Chains A and B, each alone.
Chain A
Amino acid sequence: MAVLNQPDYPAIEFRDVSRRFVLHHERRASFQDWFVGLVRPRGAAEEFWALRDVTFAVRRGETFGLVGRNGAGKSTLLKLVTRILEPSSGSVRVNGRSYAMLELGAGFHPELSGRDNVFLNGSLYGFSRKEMARRFDQIVKFAELERFIDTPVKHYSSGMYARLGFGIAVHMEPEILVIDEVLAVGDQNFQQKCYRALDELKAGGTTILFVSHDANAVRAFCDRAALLSAGQLLDVGPAEDIVDHYQRLLHETEPRVSLLRVRPVDRLGFPCDEVLSGEDLRVEVLLRIPNGGGAAGLGLQLDLIDDAGIHLFGASVDLPSDLPYARQASQRASDLPDTRVAELVIRALPLTTASVRLVATLLDLQRDGREVMDRRETQARVVPGDYTGRGLLRLDHHWSWETTPSPDAANLTAGQVGRH
């Protein structure tokens, strides 16, 4: 514990932290699926890295902002700090008693009174009844709920709910306070009150990790900040600089040419995780070409690599300028106008059974050499279906033999003909 008292010992320390999520297209979440899965192999799983190799430290007593677009990984990072998630790799160290406000009033039970909820909420964070009783009056005073503290919170307005939640948080005397976007709720008055309370905590030496979309709030309130983009830490530094960087990123008008997705599809264009041996393999590749630009000068390369790392197949093509737009492209509306689609068809897939990686590579042919612009891959399973041959490959074959002209054989043949 002595170490904790040293002022330069970081309050929060991330070292090469990555967090992966596996998106199962057919998730096995019941016995039924599990039994089906025994017969039929599992479908392809898509990996998604919410955070990749993130390293940073928040100093003791510092107010540290976290900015980035939706989906940049901010929430994942906060969940790692608060131990709701564990990192897939790397280490997360949080030194000191933390209190997380990922949502105001998280853990409130609607049927219980404000009073009961204060004690219940305190115990969710490991505070005893006695410790909460000591803070109770201050919390109620802060939340301005003296008259309603014995009313079930289901009757509270959203403002009352938020005030009580925030009141509990700031009176917990946390060494580290984690705040996710919660100040957006409530009126001006409430927000000012919250900032005053946070200023007091700051003055008292509390480390604050602060996430907000409000760039000005981060600029005004934080000492330092970090900018996240697509799971990676782009920049760490003084809050002013980081917010400037973030705003440049937001107003960036030229999204890059990139690969959005690669996946096997069936004849109708619906995604499938399994491919039948001997059937056509169709691989759909979605590309982003911003601002309606042409695809001329771009090369697309597709490789099939099996589990053992054997390069089974590779082909490349120069994309035509008028590459068609994707029909229903993607769930995200923002992708629509820029999304183009290309499809590779391998006739009568000559593999029997295998788990293959489909790797798409986008090349810039205009630069000297062939510069890799983007790469994306997915897994697919080849299943044998009713094919019974052995080995890795399904080669076009037939059995043949010459009939030797002997009387027995002639009889036999005659017999066979006779049976037919």
Chain B
Amino acid sequence: MVSQTAEIIRYRSLIGNLVAKDLKVRYKSSMLGFFWSLLNPLLMMMVFTFVFTKLLGETIPHFPVFVLIGLLSWNWTSTSIAAGTTSLVDNASLINKVYFPRILLPISVVASNMANYILALPVILVAMLVAGMDFTPWILYVPVIILVQMTFLIGAVLILSAVHIYFRDTTVLVEVGLLAWFFMTPIFYSVEDVAPNYVSLMYRVNPMASIIAELHTVLYYGGVPDPFFMARTFVTALAMVVVGYLLFNRVSRQLGERL
């Protein structure tokens, strides 16, 4: 364990380079590529706003801002989990040619999508300005929430990428699971309004619900975060990282022959 940690530290530049590779390939056509990646959540925001405020009569004020906060955070999760699950199989040729700590592959997926998320965050601030909403100093709490989400995602992709080596149809389940999860997460609704009875259950079983609710608290409502709320989610996330790490280590020894 100690030697493995030392090894990961020795290879730390690999994460940076894998993230840089990912972003460069994604934004290949320079700035336009980056704006294109912003367009997706903005269009989603418009679709959701139209459907929910015009067709379904949703009454959350500043609905576009509300939904954009959830969508950006959710995008980080869904893209990381989808790409993280297949990250080992996608890099099979590399794994069979070069030795490096394989754990860095799924982690770098989370990291590059995190970079993408952070680059997109200013859009929320612009949207809030346009909507004429107030900022409070609690906006400084956002990095804490990002840290919790990052930990949670690393745990999730370690588990899923390891399982994917044994069960290649994990991708099918992940795809369906992400869709179900999306609807079960208060992105375009507020649990407190829609299903008050389920509030505590939702926050207990769905870390993304807690993360997005806390983002809404500090950004959308400009309110005071409850430190224990994120602390509980963080403990769950850490437990997932530990389970994921142990599982991944078991699998990574067999990668050379399983891929």
Q: Contact residues of A with B, CB < 8 Å?
A: 21, 28-32, 34, 79, 82-86, 100, 102-103, 106-107, 109, 111-112, 116, 119-120, 122-129
Contacts and interface: CB of A to CB of B under 8 A. Distances in A.
Given A31-B170, A31-B173, A83 B25 contact: no
B120 to A, nearest CB: 22
Given A30-B167, A31-B173, A107-B94, A126 B25 contact: no
B98 A126 contact: no
A83 B253 CA distance: 9
B96 A84 contact: yes
Contact of A123 (B7, B14, B94, B167): B14
Contacts of B170: 31
A32 B169 contact: yes
A122 B14 CA distance: 8
B98 A129 contact: no
Interface residues of B, number: 31
Given A31-B173, A86-B256, A124-B98, 4 more contacts: A107-B97, A123-B11, A126-B14, A129-B13
B193 interface: no
Given A123-B14, A126-B11, A100 B99 contact: yes
Nearest to B171: A30
Contact of B100 (A21, A34, A124): A124
B13 A100 contact: no
Contact of A79 (B28, B169, B256): B256
Interface string B173-194: 1000000000000000000000
B226 interface: no
Interface of B is mostly: helix
14 contacts: A29-B167, A34-B167, A84-B96, A84-B98, A85-B257, A102-B98, A109-B21, A116-B21, A120-B17, A124-B94, A126-B14, A127-B13, A128-B12, A129-B16
Interface in B7-65: 7, 10-14, 16-18, 20-21, 24-25, 28
A69 B96 CA distance: 21
Top 9 nearest A-B pairs (CB, nearest first) are A106-B97, A85-B256, A123-B14, A30-B169, A83-B99, A123-B17, A123-B13, A120-B17, A128-B13
B14 A112 contact: no
Contacts of A103: 97
Instruction: Name, among A31, A122, A127, the residue most crowded by chain B CB atoms within 10 Å (CB to CB).
Output: A31
A106 B168 contact: no
Nearest to A132: B13
Given A30-B168, A116-B24, A86 B17 contact: no
A28 B21 CA distance: 34
B229 interface: no
A100 B98 contact: yes
Given A34-B167, A126-B14, A102 B97 contact: yes
Contacts of B28: 111
Nearest to A19: B257
B95 interface: yes
B167 A31 contact: yes
B166 interface: yes
Contact of B14 (A32, A82, A85, A124): A124
A254 B61 CA distance: 88
A21 B253 CA distance: 14
A411 to B, nearest CB: 62
A125 B97 CA distance: 11
Contacts of B11: 123, 126
A112 B21 contact: yes
Instruction: Name, among B17, B96, B167, the residue most crowded by chain A CB atoms within 10 Å (CB to CB).
Output: B17
Nearest to A131: B13
A125 B166 CA distance: 27
A84 B99 contact: yes
B29 to A, nearest CB: 11
Contacts of A111: 24-25, 28
B256 A84 contact: yes
A371 to B, nearest CB: 36
A24 to B, nearest CB: 11
A84 B12 CA distance: 19
A198 B232 CA distance: 57
Contacts of B166: 28-29
A127 B95 CA distance: 17
A119 B17 contact: yes
B257 to A, nearest CB: 6
Contacts of B10: 126
A32 B16 CA distance: 37
A109 B24 CA distance: 11
Contacts of A31: 167, 169-170, 173
A252 to B, nearest CB: 31
B98 A109 contact: no
A123 B13 CA distance: 6
A124 B13 CA distance: 9
Contacts of B256: 79, 84-86
Contact of B257 (A21, A29, A32, A123): A21
